């Protein structure tokens, strides 16, 4: 029996338990994506009247089936390396360059030349390229990433604002940015920022948008305000969804006051995060002092986010879903590292070897960050 978690629409996998259990018998370790969830998330973003441009952050997941799903929705792509751009072009040879944003960070000169030669929408997030290599930007239109000294997110490693972050042009350098652009015949057509990942408060987005609009008011050629990504997903089964209605209302108020600007978003994890789950099997059980460990077939080589960010992923015993959670356990993988812990102090039902374990919210920054560390295989990806 599937329990009702909240008044919101249940997370998709709670209605596909039988299908997932059947898949887990064929593939001991797999990453499953639900295409309907991807489409629903893109459609929800597309209903925002305040947003004029959507670009999928390709670094979140570049699996072919996912990219093919996204491209059908007629939104753009945000790429951070020539490798991502070339992968996209190889998959979609006729893609319009205007659909590709190139937002590198501390990249070599050759990366910028690569993007400019292909007429991509290029963002610079430092004055260094404009000062050191002005010739490659002359006569070009670019975007500038601004560090508003405002950062947010669920962990310091995903907080991308302020002096301790390596991203963006600091506010104190805005005057020099404008001088360099004028001196070298460079058009700054848009301002970009990205405050972090998992920003739950809609008013934070408006504060950021307002600050960019204020800066752009003194830059007459700027037409685009790119708010980056960071829209949160439901981390836990009982979490509420992000308040898009409030965001849309507040952004529309800002647009009415400043009709010159178009607003863009670069969602990655929001589009694909909830759509993915890992399926794996219990391998061993161990009691050690006050700790009880459940070993599973995937480890930090597949899902590095808990070790890297302290990220939370819902983990359930799918074979015994809905049964009483009677013990506190730590779920660990087979990688030879002390940090190979996927979930600590989780409430779990009595579990045995061979049970199917589901790890939620693994559509984004899982396969794209996975490795063969310990020469462990990365699970097979399956779209349902």
Residues annotated catalytic, as ranges: 336
**Short-list 253, 256, 254, 209, CA closest to 230:** 209
Burial class of residue 301 (count of CB atoms within 10 Å of its CB; 0-12, 13-18, 19+): buried
**Short-list 270, 284, 259, CA closest to 352:** 284
Query: Pairing between strand 53-57 and 76-79?
Result: parallel
| Distance in angstroms (rounded) separating the CA atoms of residues 121 and 190 | 10
| Distance in angstroms (rounded) separating the CA atoms of residues 71 and 159 | 29
Burial class of residue 245 (count of CB atoms within 10 Å of its CB; 0-12, 13-18, 19+): exposed
Q: What is the CA radius of gyration of the chain?
A: 22
| Distance in angstroms (rounded) separating the CA atoms of residues 376 and 355 | 21
Report yes or no: 345 and 41 within 8 Å, Cβ to Cβ.
Answer: no
| Distance in angstroms (rounded) separating the CA atoms of residues 263 and 375 | 44
| Distance in angstroms (rounded) separating the CA atoms of residues 322 and 325 | 8
Structure tokens at 320: 């015994």
Report yes or no: 170 and 148 within 8 Å, Cβ to Cβ.
Answer: no
HEC profile of 305-362: HHHHHCCCCCEEEHHHCCCCCCEEEEEECCCCCCCCEEEEEEEECCCCCCCEEEECCC
Query: N- to C-terminal Cα distance for the chain?
Result: 22
How does 14-36 read in b/e, with b if 16+ C-beta sit within 10 Å? bebbeebeebbeebbbbbbbbee
**Short-list 274, 209, 214, CA closest to 51:** 209
């Amino acid at each position: 029996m599937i329990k009702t978690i909240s008044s919101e629409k249940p997370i998709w996998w709670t209605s596909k338990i039988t299908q997932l259990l059947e898949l887990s018998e064929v593939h001991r370790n797999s990453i499953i994506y639900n295409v309907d969830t991807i489409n629903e998330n893109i459609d929800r973003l597309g209903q925002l009247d305040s947003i004029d441009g959507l670009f999928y952050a390709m670094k979140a997941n570049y699996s072919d089936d996912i990219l093919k799903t996204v491209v059908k929705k007629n939104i753009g792509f945000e790429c951070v390396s020539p490798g991502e751009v070339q992968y996209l072009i190889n998959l979609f040879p006729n893609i319009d360059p205007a659909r590709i944003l190139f937002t590198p960070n501390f990249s070599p000169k050759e990366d910028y030349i690569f993007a400019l030669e292909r007429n991509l929408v290029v963002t610079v997030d430092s004055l260094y390229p404009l000062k050191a290599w002005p010739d490659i930007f002359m006569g070009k239109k670019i975007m500038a990433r601004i560090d508003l000294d405002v950062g947010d997110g669920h962990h310091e490693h995903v907080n991308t604002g302020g002096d301790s972050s390596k991203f963006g042009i600091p506010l104190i350098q805005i005057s020099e940015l404008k001088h360099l652009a004028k001196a070298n015949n460079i058009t700054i057509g848009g301002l970009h920022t990205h405050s972090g990942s998992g920003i739950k408060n809609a008013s934070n987005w408006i504060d950021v948008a307002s600050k960019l609009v204020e800066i752009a008011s003194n830059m007459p050629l700027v037409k685009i305000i790119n708010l980056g990504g960071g829209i949160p997903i439901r981390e836990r089964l009982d979490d509420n969804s992000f308040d898009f209605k409030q965001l849309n209302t507040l952004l529309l108020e800002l647009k009415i006051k400043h009709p010159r600007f178009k607003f863009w978003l670069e969602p990655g994890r929001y589009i694909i995060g909830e759509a993915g789950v890992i399926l794996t099997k219990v391998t061993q059980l161990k009691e050690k002092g006050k700790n009880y460990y459940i070993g599973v077939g995937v480890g930090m080589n597949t899902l590095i986010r808990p070790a890297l960010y302290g990220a939370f992923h819902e983990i359930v015993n799918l074979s015994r879903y809905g049964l009483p959670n009677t013990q506190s356990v730590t779920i660990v993988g087979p990688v030879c590292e002390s940090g190979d812990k996927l979930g600590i102090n989780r409430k779990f039902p009595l579990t045995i070897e061979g049970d199917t374990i589901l790890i939620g919210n693994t559509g984004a920054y899982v396969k794209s960050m996975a490795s063969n560390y310990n020469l462990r295989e990365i699970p097979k990806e399956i779209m349902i």
